[in-house]
Amino acid sequence: MFSFQPDRSQYPDIGPDGKFEIDLETGKFLKLWQGPNHPGITGNMSVELTVNGDEVVEGKTHVGYLHRGFEKLMERRTFIQVFPIVCRVCVPEPDFNEYCYAAAVEELAGIETPEKAKWIRALILEMGRFNSYMMSIGGIGGALGNGIVGQWLTYVRDLMLDRFEELTGARIYHMFILPGGVRAGLPEGFEGRMEEVLATAERYLDDTEKLLFTNAVFKKRTKGVGYIDPALFESYGVTGPNARAGGVAKDVRKDSPYLVYDQLDFDVPVEHDSDIWARATVRYRDLRVTIDLLRQILAKMPKTGEVMTSLPNVLHWKIPRGETYIKGESSRGEYGYYLVTDGSGYPRRVNVRGPSYTHAMALLEHLIPGTNIADVAALMVSLHTYPPEIER
Amino acid sequence: MGSLRDVLSPFTAWKHVIETPVTLKNPIGREAADRYRGFHQNDTEKCIGCGSCETICQNAAIDMVPVDDPKEGDSGLRPQIDYGRCCWCALCVDVCMTGSLTMSNEYTWVDTDPDAFRFIPGVDEKPWDAIAKGYQRPGERMLSGLTRPEMMEMEPEARIDNFDEIVAGYSREQAVLEADRCVECGLCVATCPVHMDIPDYIAAIREGDYDLGTQILYETNPFSEVCGRVCTHKCETVCAAQYEGEPIAIRWLKRHIIDNVSEERRLEIVGTPQVLPTGRKVAIVGAGPAGLTTAYDLARQGHAVTVYEAQDHAGGMMRYGIPEYRLPYDALDRDIAVIRAQGVEIKTGVRIGSDITLAQLKADNDAVVLGIGLHMGRSTRVPGSDAPGVEAAIDLLRRITAGEEVPVPKKVAVIGGGNVAMDIARSMARLQKQKYGAVGVTVTALEDFAHFLADKEEVTESIEEGIEILDARGPQEMVTFKSGKRKGEVKGLRTWKVISIFDDQGRFAPQYDEADEIVHEAEMVVEAIGQMADVSLLGDELTEALQWNRGRIAVDADGHTSEPWLWAGGDSVHGPDVIHAVADGHKLAASVSAMLAAKAEVAK
Amino acid sequence: MKAEALSKMTNVEEVLETVAEFDREAHSFYTDLIPKVSKDIRYIVEELARAELEHIIKLRGLLASPNMRAHLKDAILRPVADRRFSDAIQAPELGDAPDDQEVLQYALAREQTAIEQYSELAANTPPGPMHEVFSYLANEESKHKSDLEALYYQIVHSGGV
């Protein structure tokens, strides 16, 4: 097909080490800052681009705009006081923080979670995944000028936020998964209203398929662009949909099932091209799986039973010495909390493994050289990163 | 790449042009979900100002601020919330000890004054105060324990034929579980007459640091072992944990600390006075809790203290009033040993007024303190109350402790509904069981069970031990044998039913139903009603010289009488229990000590 | 003796005057008793004397009042029930140095006698001003007795632990 792309083989020169030789003194290059804008998609981070013509020859990531020192804050708070702040480590999908922290505390303190609470936790986590994917797919459309998809899916996400609001009492930071269980059971008639949301979502996703995934322009802009060599997955810590788009069927829900995932029936979608297209497609397919999982959870969930265990007095709750790592499959890959306790009333160390940490920095810097300026936004969105979890 | 389908398909999006918009026309004013965590509400009547909300708030958004004078069990503080800091996590609602703090589902609030967003829910009126919807804790409090571990006690069959201690004391596990429930609000500290540092010694239990616990106990109370068993625990009646669950077993936790420290270790921890002798002499009359606490404090300050006790052993009512099954004598002796170790001399078997006169004490000492207690029992003085076989409870209890022979008939009737009535009923029941193998005690109380004076546990345990308790019965006559060999001796107690005991204003105004008359068969009738102080030791002259306050020696706030050399405290002045006597003891010692210091200044 | 004297009276003023005289006697009785009892319980006797004095003042006020009958009627509309608590208490002979309980018992017995006498007089008097004044007096004494009983309970029955 006809191409507007210039012949990139002309410049810049490739040095003996196989890398571009960049000499700003030559006047051939231009420094360009992308960000730190806040579309909520690529978040508050910026990439310092070095461009040669419209080709990006180098990209340096700059983070820290959202740094609030969460892990340090946690060390200065009692175990119960950590609960309200963990969700803030990731704005669009906060619930993994709540789950991982609660599960880590429960393991070290020896607390049993009631069965029904596990189902509600899985429900919450899938609701969060649903919203996160909606943002991601809307975002990839937006990054490539197809804003209408972003509007549609933001609307659908808003409907899910209504469900969050009635279930958890809050829309964004739910603060619902307490160590020991969850704060409440389902409100009256929740299942019916959830089904309405899922049906609406499916209708909009059908339209999204027609507008985005059956779209010559979208295909042209994404296929073959932003390729990640699956051989790099291990060394760059690539997990989740980014890895599944490259043929690696990694999914914590399947590989080491937590909560009630061993009682749910689902397949892990895999693509093979490892480009922007494959990553968007894997997310789209996984979103369909999520919708199915939400229905399964509501159908299989126990209708009665406790949702919360009595805790020891949380005002002077001490947890015996120990350490643990709790992980889960977030919409962006493996999410994990490493918790060390020393027998005192405060966590000795909390380390949050947000998948964005690897994807948004090392991997992005590796992928950027050689792309067109116009593709950088789509590339970033296709990695689906949330900067707050880089800077926890 | 790409097909014709890929070019045409996106145009299907045009169908949305004819669809109704999904946006809300007016998003402002949209009602939030039923359990939405919106603006705070506080039922200030229910709130006790314990401050648990302030403690749990990770963002320091809550400050407890004074809105009223403190009352018993209410700090007078209420949470003020700064919405510049609040993150609406609702842990404050979850941890609330009374359930007073909730959240409405209101979430819009516009104001030009930034300070308006720091407010006191329930005090500063807000439009959402009456909204019923919003976040409320589902079910009971989950963030701290609700129930206390059950105290192991001897079964009624095992305890009724002996005077062994009934209560076993907490195990380490039980004590830790119970100590864990405390939210450290300190309402108990304010209520305790001696302001024991309860949250801190409970924390010491959690830490397993019994040495520290003992040290904290001794900062305020030299009778911790006694109080750990028989304290009237006013602290527990204000405990924040009682509103949704049981109050913390503060008394048993205190006992648990002492139980875990040997007598030798306790002496090491408390130590001996670390000051030079002042050369000042103080005489204390009565070796009860008030007198001995005064002695302890004064001796620690280097004064030479002599305590005079009329009975053969020190302890006062703690020994001669409280039965052994509630307070073993060796427990009392351990507390007294620590006091003696401070150099306090206790002269027992010396009755002031007859063996030594008060005037003599005045002449020989720099100060004299009276802690004489209430050792005389009141009589109903109904017909027959002076007949042989009618006894005073307080006198009988003393004789039992002293090991004197007391008559033990098969049938005993007790008049009274207080703890003393329970003490004598249960003591007599034990003696009956030992002698006859059966219990035959009937307690008749003026008060009905709703207004009963005795502790609930005392009543329950008495009934378990086979004692009959008849509430709302007024004594009319001690029935005596009218003829025969036993003429004049008691053969029963005649009572009338009390229909009501107090009027609308809570004033004593009994109404009798004389048709409901019972004669309780008994060869001994024990009067366990009021008690009074034996003030005969004062002599006529001093009695006349002293100021009085409705039958009791008048004292100022520090226990100083109208005579410059004389102080008085304890039951005989204030009543009515050990812990109040200890509190009096501290006050007396402080007042006496201030006067002694002044004397020393003058002597320079 | 009291009843006998009063039964011969023919009008309300006379009755009230006579009763005031009785109260004056009682007042001087208690006043004389004050120095005899030990200082610590003197407050009881002082209160008893004060109560008698107050009663005299009240009767004086009643005599001077233009609408005396309205007062009387109003007072007997709210009769004070005799609860008979102190029935079983024996009237002691007050010796030289009575204790607090004896003084109270004596006072209670005195009130009891007064109530009985006034009630009997009221019962034997046909409806009219005389009936009203006797009913009024019985009621007054009942009120006073209730106060004393409350004090008695406080001192004798709840003075201990």
Q: Are residues B385 and B507 in the same domain?
A: yes
pLDDT confidence of residue A131: 96
Distance CA B302, CA B593 (A): 10
Domain boundary among the residues B246, B269, B292 is at: B269
* Interchain CB contact of C43 with B (< 8 Å): yes
Per-residue pLDDT band at B151 (split at 50, 70, 90): very high
Quote the number of domains for chain B: 4
Query: What chain A residue is nearest to B141 in terms of C-alpha separation?
Result: A310
Q: Using DSSP, state whether A333 is helix, strand or coil.
A: strand
CB neighbours of residue A321 within 10 Å? 11
Query: What chain B residue is nearest to C46 in terms of C-alpha separation?
Result: B550
Distance CA B84, CA B116 (A): 10
Q: Å from B403 to nearest chain A CA?
A: 48
Instruction: Give the β-pairing of B118-119 and B77-82.
Output: antiparallel
Tokens for B588? Answer: 């007396």
Per-residue pLDDT band at B306 (split at 50, 70, 90): very high
Mean predicted lDDT score pLDDT of chain A = 91
| Residue A80 to residue B203, Cβ atoms within 8 A | no
DSSP at A134: H
Distance CA C60, CA C66 (A): 12
Q: Are residues B289 and B356 in the same domain?
A: yes
For residue B552, being part of any structural domain is answered with: yes
* Interchain CB contact of A1 with B (< 8 Å): yes
| Pairs across B and C, CB distance < 8 A | 99
Q: Are residues B495 and B569 in the same domain?
A: no
Contact of B256 with B169, CB cutoff 8 Å: yes
Query: What chain B residue is nearest to A212 in terms of C-alpha separation?
Result: B10
| Residue B514 to residue C84, Cβ atoms within 8 A | yes
* CA B265 to mean position of chain CA atoms: 27
Smallest CA-to-CA distance from B565 within B268, B378, B363, B384 is with: B363
pLDDT confidence of residue C161: 39
Q: Which domain holds residue C103?
A: 2-157
Helix axes B578-603, B289-300, angle to 10 degrees: 40
Quote the number of domains for chain C: 1
In chain B, residues with a C-beta closer than 8 Å to the C-beta of C157 are 378, 446, 529-530
Tokens for B32? Answer: 């939030």
pLDDT confidence of residue B523: 96
H helices of B110-249, in order, are: 156-159, 172-180, 187-191, 198-207, 210-220, 224-230, 234-238
Q: Å from B67 to nearest chain C CA?
A: 36
Per-residue pLDDT, averaged over B135-161, amounts to: 91
Distance CA B48, CA B70 (A): 10
| Residue A210 to residue B7, Cβ atoms within 8 A | no
Q: Are residues B353 and B399 in the same domain?
A: no
Tokens for B446? Answer: 């003026």
Distance CA B137, CA B270 (A): 46
- The CATH number assigned to the domain holding C26 equals 1.20.1260
Tokens for A265? Answer: 């029936």
| Residue B91 to residue A83, Cβ atoms within 8 A | yes
**Is the dihedral angle over the CA atoms B593, B595, B598, B603 positive or is it negative?**
negative
Q: Which domain holds residue B349?
A: 277-370+536-603
| Residue C105 to residue B381, Cβ atoms within 8 A | yes
Q: Which of A361-370, B104-113, B309-318 has the lowest mean pLDDT?
A: A361-370
Smallest CA-to-CA distance from A314 within A185, A180, A190 is with: A180
Residues in chain A: 392
* DSSP bridge partners of B532: B376
* Interchain CB contact of A91 with B (< 8 Å): no
Q: Are residues B87 and B228 in the same domain?
A: no
Tokens for A150? Answer: 């972003």
pLDDT greater than 60 at residue B328: yes
| Residue B144 to residue A313, Cβ atoms within 8 A | yes
| Residue B91 to residue A220, Cβ atoms within 8 A | no
* CA B532 to mean position of chain CA atoms: 22
In chain A, residues with a C-beta closer than 8 Å to the C-beta of B184 are 315-316
Distance CA B455, CA A115 (A): 43
Name the stretches of chain C with pLDDT < 70. Answer: 1-3, 76-92, 159-161
pLDDT confidence of residue B402: 94
Tokens for C133? Answer: 């004044």
Q: Is A262 exposed, middle or buried (0-12, 13-18, 19+ CB in 10 A)?
A: exposed
Range A80-316 classified under CATH 1.10.357.10 = no
Domain boundary among the residues B245, B269, B293 is at: B269
DSSP at B117: G
Tokens for A351? Answer: 């380390």
pLDDT digits (tens, 9 = 90+) for B350-401: 999 999 999 999 999 999 999 999 999 999 988 999 999 999 999 999 999 9
Distance CA B443, CA B473 (A): 9
pLDDT confidence of residue A285: 97
pLDDT greater than 60 at residue B553: yes
A133 against B507, higher pLDDT: A133
Contact of B77 with B64, CB cutoff 8 Å: yes
* Interchain CB contact of C89 with B (< 8 Å): yes
pLDDT confidence of residue A204: 96
ipTM, interface predicted TM-score of the complex: 0.91
Domain boundaries, chain A: 80-316
pLDDT digits (tens, 9 = 90+) for B179-218: 999 999 999 999 999 999 999 999 999 999 999 999 999 9
Distance CA B105, CA B87 (A): 15
**Touch between C and B (at least 3 CB pairs under 8 Å):** yes
Distance CA C139, CA C158 (A): 27
Distance CA B413, CA B479 (A): 12
Smallest CA-to-CA distance from B230 within B455, B460, B464, B449 is with: B455
In chain B, residues with a C-beta closer than 8 Å to the C-beta of A77 are 58
Tokens for B513? Answer: 């139903």
| Residue C42 to residue B548, Cβ atoms within 8 A | yes
pLDDT confidence of residue A1: 47
Find which of C34, C38, C40, C80 to mutate to test the B interface (most B CBs within 10 Å of its CB): C40
Per-residue pLDDT, averaged over B539-559, amounts to: 93
Listed by number, the residues of chain C in 9-38 with a beta carbon closer than 8 Å to a beta carbon of chain B are 38
Q: Å from B522 to nearest chain C CA?
A: 19
| Residue B95 to residue A82, Cβ atoms within 8 A | no
* Interchain CB contact of C146 with B (< 8 Å): yes
* Interchain CB contact of A374 with B (< 8 Å): no
pLDDT digits (tens, 9 = 90+) for B17-72: 898 888 888 888 889 999 999 999 999 999 999 999 999 999 999 999 999 999 99
Over pLDDT 90: what percentage of chain A? 75
Domain boundary among the residues B81, B110, B143 is at: B143
* DSSP bridge partners of B560: B567
Q: Are residues B164 and B255 in the same domain?
A: yes
Smallest CA-to-CA distance from B58 within A69, A350, A170, A84 is with: A84
Nearest CB neighbour to B531, from listed C44, C89, C159? C159
Tokens for A212? Answer: 């985005």
pLDDT confidence of residue A9: 55
* DSSP bridge partners of A372: A55
Nearest CB neighbour to C83, from listed B381, B477, B509? B509
pLDDT digits (tens, 9 = 90+) for B73-93: 999 999 999 999 999 999 999
Find which of B58, B140, B180 to mutate to test the A interface (most A CBs within 10 Å of its CB): B58
Cα separations (Å) of A20 from A57, A124, A364, B365?
Answer: 7, 47, 17, 102
Tokens for A204? Answer: 């909009």
Contact of B577 with B288, CB cutoff 8 Å: no
Over pLDDT 70: what percentage of chain B? 100
**Touch between B and A (at least 3 CB pairs under 8 Å):** yes
Q: Are residues B488 and B553 in the same domain?
A: no
Contact of A215 with B8, CB cutoff 8 Å: no
Distance CA C100, CA B551 (A): 9
Mean predicted lDDT score pLDDT of chain B = 94
